[in-house]
Structure 1
Amino acid sequence: MLIRVIVSFLLFLSGSVFASLLSQHGQPVRYMQTTENAIIWAQVGNDVITVGNVRAGQILAVVPTDADYDEFSFGFGTGFIDKGHLEPVQGTQQVKDSLGDLNKPLSNQNLITWRATPMYTAPNASSAQFGVLAANLRYPISSKLQDGLHQTWYQIRIGNRLAWVSSLDAQQDDGIPILTYHHILRDEENTRFRHTSTTTSVRAFSNQMTWLRDRDYTTLTMYQLEGYIRNKMNLPARAVVITFDDGLKSVNRYAYPVLKEYGFRATAFVISSRIKRHPQKWAPRSLQFMSFSELEQIQDVFDVQSHTHFLHRVDGHRQPILLSRSYHNLLFDFERSRRALSQFNPHVLYLSYPFGGYNTTALQAANDAGFHMAVTTVKGKVKPGDNPFLLKRLYILRTDSLDTMSRLISNQPQG
């Protein structure tokens, strides 16, 4: 199992998955036929899991390994299949779907499976089944079409073969939500910030995290989200990114214990100039920032990223000061923030614009400073192919019901 995880991770880093398999093993792709219904595995997020099966008699392009399994292309990663379920293609038997154009770029769209989802050899439910995709997967779509009954079919690639999934069995992916939080207080403490949208209650936050846990959501890092946006990583259908802006002391005090209890990951976008040398005495009527030791304490849950160094201010017109600064001023600040935060994280690659303010100068400076992505306060979800420096986010307010949260986060059926 560990070997599979390591192999898949290396493949992700290399870019072209199947080309990497070829160079790693030094063996050509071979077409093999399944002798029986065969379970397949793949890395999804951080885990190697069962991702479905391939029916007996189907042909796959595989790369032989020295282990007890062979490897094949699965989405944006590598699948694994037991060698005992494979045999060489007999005689002159040909692959009958002509493979399609395997070098054609994918469509920047995914399907989402909520249950065991049949894959067919043609866009017709009466055609032979190629296999089954497991529940809770995102899988890239090559193309889609409508049949004579106006039913939509999604074309996918698996093991250098083409298969078809009906829209009656799966949905089209409407993106991954990035949840935005700032400040958390107990209701009885919140005498000053009760009417601010950036402050939520401990009770509401705990209920929201419980909702995610009870529905088996995976919390993603920004690194994994980057893999999703750039079409380089397989991720589960139930996935969300949790972010906290500013680096406030309440994150350590109230958010961290809840997230740790549930085994969740989150990202802290920290204003690097406001980190305190020593922890401050708790004062809920003030906006207090975490100290160096408090930031170190939460690193088993939180990934520390940048919310700039000196740019978290507004001008005399209440506009983000970032909007009036020159390219070189922005570049200097972004680079300084990355250096200051490197003691907590050697890979400070992601930025949150102060107050959601950005312009073309900020985007250019963020890229040139070495950031890979940046988040805004524009409402919406993140999809493959989005501009990585203009990522949308969602706010779940203290007063929002869990039904409201469900509507905002859950994948919505496409027309």
Structure 2
Amino acid sequence: MQRWLTALLLLTLVTLTALSAEAAKPIIEITDDVPVYDNRTGQLVEVGYLVKGETFTIVEDYGKNWWKIRWDDYYGFVAKNRTAVVNAVTYRNATKRALVQQQLTALQDSKVMDNQTEPGVLRPFAIIKQGQKYASMRKMGNWYGVEMNGRLGFIHASNVEVTTPAKPPVAKPTNKTGYTTAYTEVVDFRRDKPASVMYLYANTPIQYVDDPGDAHFNTHVKVKWGDAFVYVSRKAIKEQNVAPTRFTTRSPNGKFIIPYNSQRNHIYTNESGKLVAYAHLNTNQRFPLIRTEGKWYVTVIAGREGYIHESHAALDRGVPVLMYHHVLPERDLGFFKHKSTTVTSEQFAAEMAYLKSQNYETVTLTDFRRYLKREITLPANALVLTFDDGLLSTREYAYPVLKKYNFKAAQFLITARNDSANPAQVFSPTVLQTLSWQDVNRMGDVFSFEGHTHNLHNIIGSTSQVLMVSNNQLATDLQNNITRLPKGPRAFAYPFGQFNATTVQLVKNAGFDLAFTTREGYNSPYENPYYIKRVSSNQSVTLEQYKRMVRPY
């Protein structure tokens, strides 16, 4: 054994290639309780052991006599002579590493328990030696959860001393100036996928921020774009003092422009008395507007004012929110022919096919919320699809089309009707039917489900019942509505588009953070989130009219 320990110390100085990058990592079964050693100090320190009969996935085959495993935030080593290679793990408590919440110190040799492999049974699969430290991911009752070589284990609180590790100080962001050294892309990382904003030409002076606390610090610097920061490759920036007069202190005025000529979408500086191009804009982005000068729009990026001619860009009118209700084939319209809340399935399919062909993005309400809060900038071709009333026809004729194109949409549900909907109901085009909760669950890959009252979606004369009941009745109904919806931020649509200031306040009090009207228009980030405007398609809308309706300008 001593010979193997010495060999392990020597192996730390040598890089081994026991496994190819493509090879599966070996799985071992512990044939006898085996110590785990830490060799970071140059001395072998026993920090714990693995329990006989347990299986583990190995990090690395470490020479003739040793396996390498992950132990806390470092590597431990176990002797091969107390293990056997097997084909599969036997545990069911696999997990991933998470943020460290507490630091544990074992007050005695402490068992690490598995409570998942055998339901209802706690069994030890490892031991942490007395005095050794180990990070905990979370606390559950009297137990601390730890990650041990890819397995979730629990240590009883009576066996450990707990400390909360101090967060290391983060260096403050530093404002700097410099020049681009090459034609370089400006990237927006705020959404799931990076988005190209523009390209800066070489030798462009910029203001930027070095932020050690930023996730992209190692590869990028931050530059200001309207109210937000976007990114430029660190390799393309040379730090240098630039005169403050070459930058602007003006802020955006709340409006945006969209370039639409991909061949002539440059922005220019005129600081030398003549126009000099310094950036090439992406035509699918919204750019903050500072002001207009004659026939020129003035935007800003990285502290630099830029001019683009009105013949190459247009004022952004905002994000369109499309409103639909009922969808039926032309042959089945019957009573619903010429009804403003019904579109034909043929028309709907053509509209969605057009959106797909033009690369429109149907954004979720989650991203729409972020847009309204100015947390993200939505691309020019972004729109929101909404369906009021939660009708069964959307399952038949909207859902398959949306799923085909990987589109997202929101449904506003009258939840009392969902409660009473029969899951086995057969669709009929002659009556209005409501989605069952089983339908709602099955359609969650396309739709989010939002509020449209619980049981107040009625019109009396020409007035919505929402405006006729007492404040207490409305508050109770809204609470019944939102509690039946999926957890998380939820939106609301005013029935028949009717509401007043009291309605808005009660909707807000109920917990809805967005509310949609039937007022026609488009939506910018500076508007009240409880007055979202929409545009609607109906049987009289031609495809050419629809194309103009969804354009952002």
Q: TM-score range by the shorter chain?
A: 0.7 to 0.9
Distance 1:225 1:178 in 2: 10
Q: Please say if residues 173 and 211 of structure 2, whose CA atoms lie closer than 8 Å, have aligned partners that are also in contact.
A: yes
2:298 corresponds to:
154
- 1:372-413: CA deviations, max 9, x gaps? 22111122222332222122211111232111112222234x
- 1:82-121: CA deviations, max 9, x gaps? 22211110xx5424334314xx4x3221111224421222
Q: Please say if residues 115 and 136 of structure 1, whose CA atoms lie closer than 8 Å, have aligned partners that are also in contact.
A: no
**Partner secondary structure for residue 309 of structure 1:** coil
Q: Please say if residues 320 and 552 of structure 2, whose CA atoms lie closer than 8 Å, have aligned partners that are also in contact.
A: no
- After TM superposition, give the deviation of residue 195 of structure 1 in Å: 2.8
Distance 1:352 1:32 in 2: 49
Q: Is 2:265 aligned against 1:121?
A: no
1:99 corresponds to:
248
Q: Is 2:281 aligned against 1:140?
A: no
**Matching of residues 162-311 of structure 1 within 5 Å:** 162-275=305-418, 276=421, 278-311=423-456
Larger of the two Rg values belongs to structure: 2
The structure with more helix, counted as a fraction of residues: 1
Farther-moved stretch of structure 1 (127-136 vs 199-208): 127-136
The alpha-carbon distance between structure 1 residues 124 and 271, as it changes in their structure 2 partners (threshold 3 A), is: farther
Q: Please say if residues 187 and 197 of structure 2, whose CA atoms lie closer than 8 Å, have aligned partners that are also in contact.
A: yes
Give the aligned residue type for 1:96: T
The alpha-carbon distance between structure 1 residues 367 and 166, as it changes in their structure 2 partners (threshold 3 A), is: same
Which residue, out of 396, 405, 408, partners 2:546?
405
1:48 corresponds to:
194
Q: Please say if residues 247 and 270 of structure 1, whose CA atoms lie closer than 8 Å, have aligned partners that are also in contact.
A: yes
- 1:265-317: CA deviations, max 9, x gaps? 111111111112524111221111111111111111111111111110122x2
Which residue, out of 502, 506, 521, partners 1:365?
506
Give the aligned residue type for 2:209: V
Q: Please say if residues 242 and 265 of structure 1, whose CA atoms lie closer than 8 Å, have aligned partners that are also in contact.
A: yes
1:34 corresponds to:
180
- After TM superposition, give the deviation of residue 318 of structure 1 in Å: 3.4
- 1:202-227: CA deviations, max 9, x gaps? 10000000111111111122232233
Distance 1:205 1:250 in 2: 12
2:531 corresponds to:
390
Distance 1:328 1:125 in 2: 66
Unaligned runs of 5+ in 1: 1-22
Give the aligned residue type for 1:246: D
The structure with more strand, counted as a fraction of residues: 2
Q: Please say if residues 371 and 525 of structure 2, whose CA atoms lie closer than 8 Å, have aligned partners that are also in contact.
A: yes
1:325 corresponds to:
469
The alpha-carbon distance between structure 1 residues 382 and 93, as it changes in their structure 2 partners (threshold 3 A), is: closer
- After TM superposition, give the deviation of residue 362 of structure 1 in Å: 0.4
The alpha-carbon distance between structure 1 residues 207 and 378, as it changes in their structure 2 partners (threshold 3 A), is: same
Distance 2:450 2:342 in 1: 20
- After TM superposition, give the deviation of residue 238 of structure 1 in Å: 1.2
Distance 2:302 2:469 in 1: 51
Q: Please say if residues 113 and 237 of structure 1, whose CA atoms lie closer than 8 Å, have aligned partners that are also in contact.
A: no
- 1:149-197: CA deviations, max 9, x gaps? x3132232x2233333332221110122111111111122222212311
Distance 1:395 1:366 in 2: 23
Distance 1:213 1:244 in 2: 19
Distance 1:329 1:382 in 2: 31
Give the aligned residue type for 2:544: D
> Under a length normalisation based on structure 1, what TM-score does the superposition of the two structures give?
0.84
**Pairwise CA RMSD:** 2.2
Give the aligned residue type for 1:26: K
**Partner secondary structure for residue 334 of structure 2:** coil
Distance 2:372 2:308 in 1: 23
Farther-moved stretch of structure 1 (298-307 vs 120-129): 120-129
Q: Please say if residues 178 and 242 of structure 2, whose CA atoms lie closer than 8 Å, have aligned partners that are also in contact.
A: no
- After TM superposition, give the deviation of residue 249 of structure 1 in Å: 0.9
Give the aligned residue type for 1:27: P
Distance 1:124 1:338 in 2: 59
1:336 corresponds to:
480
**Partner secondary structure for residue 484 of structure 2:** helix
Farther-moved stretch of structure 1 (385-394 vs 233-242): 385-394
2:87 corresponds to:
none
**Partner secondary structure for residue 175 of structure 1:** coil
Q: Please say if residues 247 and 303 of structure 2, whose CA atoms lie closer than 8 Å, have aligned partners that are also in contact.
A: no
Distance 1:258 1:44 in 2: 29
1:88 corresponds to:
239
Distance 1:52 1:392 in 2: 30
Distance 1:139 1:325 in 2: 45
Q: Please say if residues 45 and 235 of structure 1, whose CA atoms lie closer than 8 Å, have aligned partners that are also in contact.
A: no
**Partner secondary structure for residue 434 of structure 2:** coil
Sequence identity of aligned pairs in percent? 27
- After TM superposition, give the deviation of residue 76 of structure 1 in Å: 4.3
> Under a length normalisation based on structure 2, what TM-score does the superposition of the two structures give?
0.64
**Partner secondary structure for residue 164 of structure 1:** strand
**Partner secondary structure for residue 369 of structure 2:** helix
Distance 1:263 1:71 in 2: 32
The alpha-carbon distance between structure 1 residues 255 and 87, as it changes in their structure 2 partners (threshold 3 A), is: same
- After TM superposition, give the deviation of residue 52 of structure 1 in Å: 1.5
**Partner secondary structure for residue 192 of structure 1:** helix
Distance 1:52 1:331 in 2: 48
The alpha-carbon distance between structure 1 residues 155 and 71, as it changes in their structure 2 partners (threshold 3 A), is: closer
Farther-moved stretch of structure 1 (197-206 vs 53-62): 53-62
Distance 1:259 1:172 in 2: 30
Distance 1:406 1:144 in 2: 29
